[in-house]
Amino acid sequence: MADQYIVGVAGVLACLLGLIFLYFHSLLRFRGLSKLRTPATGNCDAVGAADIIIVGAGVAGAALAYSLGKDGRRVRVIERDFNAPDRIAGECLMPGGYLKLIELGLGDCVDDIDARHVLGLVVYKHGKDATLSFPLEKFESHVAAKCFHNGRFVQRLRDKAASVHNVSLEQGTVTSLIQENGAVKGVHYKDKSGRLLTAYAPLTVVCDGCFSNLRRSLCNPKVDVPSHFAGLVLSNCKLPNESYGALILAEPSPILFYPISSTEMRCLVDIPSRNVPSVSDGAMVHYLKSLVAPKVFPELYPAFISAIEKGNIRVMPNRIMAAAPNSIPGAFLIGDALNIRHPFTGGGMTVALSDVVLLRDLLRPLRDLSDASAVCKYLESFYTLRKPMSSTINTLANVLQVVFSAPTGPVMEDIQQACFGYLRLGGVFANGVSAIFSGLYPSPLSMAFHLFAIVLYGVGRSVLPFPSPKCLWNGAKLVWVASSILLPFIWSEGVRQMFFPLTVPAYYRTPPGSRSITA
């Protein structure tokens, strides 16, 4: 009997000690988690877990959320404003970008938004024209450039992302990244009511656009603003060639036209940043009416004047920023937050969607993202693998903007004439440029070949048929000025990554877990 009593007392004491142990263990664990999840800026609430956080639900963010969600990832998207964007850029998706959209399973996002089917661009100068037709012969009939209202397209992408059950879209403003021990663990953000929240994930992808407030945490941005677009919407008018956009090389500003719906046409006037007239004091109206309107096609003139008088003139700075990322474990930067080119050739969305396809494919073999350092090292290959598309379109856009702007001297006029004359040659010359321009056949070597061929063509125009000392001097100046335009853009993109990618150590990295990552 005594033995049973002793055993019973011992059992009760063991239970009490176990309960005390569990209590203190839970208390310590709770305090540890509280310490981890409380930001230095004050109290906030933590939201549910995700595999990947995406900051921004624009073209890149929404497309990435959809593709990662379809791959089975738990994706949390935090977007500042879910109203349809109202922009004067991001309205033309080149054929190469449209093919990337199809590859992501998002081709139907250009349906039912009154998008226009565009087959190329016609360049006009002094009454002459040069036609750049996209090389679409090998593709199905629906493949072309798609022009539309940017807001309608972005909303379709968001709807597709929201249709995936493991993708959650939340309105909020991300204020900062959560960084611990040199790695990003998630984000701090404010919801619609202003409540401060935190979200945690092994990987945070920042793609909040050209005005990104997180960019400086993840790269070394050097932003240049060479010009501004003055944008107008023209109603109920048609271009000379309805299936093509139009670019008028005029002084003091080149003028770009393309349809964005069945009844509307976008007009963009490229104005050097040093000469942008003010909209508020009427200087812009005077500039457009007196200096630009006389250069517009006669059939568009009434609609152009009417659009000016309606007063809905939008002015947008055109930014240029080469990609200069810092490798920080747990975070990644894509889209216009990473890299911006001049929107002159409409290549921005093509580069963004190409980046989304590449990042999706790189992430597919990784089922576990918890080793942030290994994932970060593996993803370094992204910045070299993206170069064929990004560097080709970036360099071409930035160079053509300088060349096609109003000439500032006789040498620049000669370079513009050389470029226009080269395009008028047609055949392999114009087709080669249009293949790059369209994003269908991106190749840095092909791009460099054609740009240097334009320079040689310009030198030939200067020195032939009689190469006098003055002609030779003019040819030398043309080469010098053209090189001073082209080479800095190539340098900023990275000569080694553009032309010798196989020599870059990060060109290919084995996914973590399969075998050790190569150096």
Give per-residue pLDDT as tens, 407-448: 788 999 999 999 999 999 999 999 999 999 999 999 999 999
- The whole-angstrom separation of Cα 517 and Cα 211 is 34
Note the pLDDT of residue 9: 37
Give per-residue pLDDT as tens, 260-288: 999 999 999 999 998 899 999 999 999 99
Give per-residue pLDDT as tens, 33-70: 232 233 333 445 656 689 999 999 999 999 999 999 99
Are 419 and 481 in contact, with CB atoms under 8 Å apart?
Answer: no
pTM across the whole model: 0.88
- The whole-angstrom separation of Cα 135 and Cα 116 is 18
In which residue are the tokens 């998706």 written?
93
Distances (CA, A) of 119 to 131, 296, 501, 508, 519: 10, 21, 32, 36, 45
- Residue (of 498, 459, 450, 496) closest to 481 by Cα position: 459
State how beta strands 196-200 and 255-259 pair.
unpaired
**Angle between helix 387-404 and helix 444-463 axes, rounded to 10 deg:** 30
- The whole-angstrom separation of Cα 227 and Cα 427 is 32
Element (H, E) at 184: strand 183-191
Are 238 and 258 in contact, with CB atoms under 8 Å apart?
Answer: no
Give per-residue pLDDT as tens, 89-137: 899 999 999 999 999 999 999 999 999 999 999 999 999 999 999 999 9
Are 104 and 353 in contact, with CB atoms under 8 Å apart?
Answer: yes
The DSSP annotation for 218-272 comes to: HB----EEEEEEEEEEEES---SSTTEEEEE--SS--EEEEESSSSEEEEEEEEE
